[in-house]
Amino acid sequence: DHARKKLAEKNLDLIVVNNISKKGIGFGSSHNQVTVLFANGEKKILPRLTKERLADRLLSLGLKGVTRR
């Protein structure tokens, strides 16, 4: 999986990925749906959310993620 490889190569705590082929999310939309992959192997699938709510969730997960390593 490309995201897992990038996570390891760059020695990241986490990486956020989305499916750009899904309609109604991503660019040109007010919503997005993502998966957060953590360095420890954990995976968190977030539901379709407004980008503002998603940003709040990602910040919260990111702060927790750096201590999970």
Per-residue pLDDT of the chain (69 residues; tens, 9 = 90+): 899 999 999 999 899 999 888 888 888 899 999 999 999 999 999 999 999 999 999 998 877 766 555
Q: Is the dihedral of CA 46, 67, 64, 55 positive or negative?
A: negative
Q: How far apart are CA 15 and CA 36, in angstroms?
A: 6
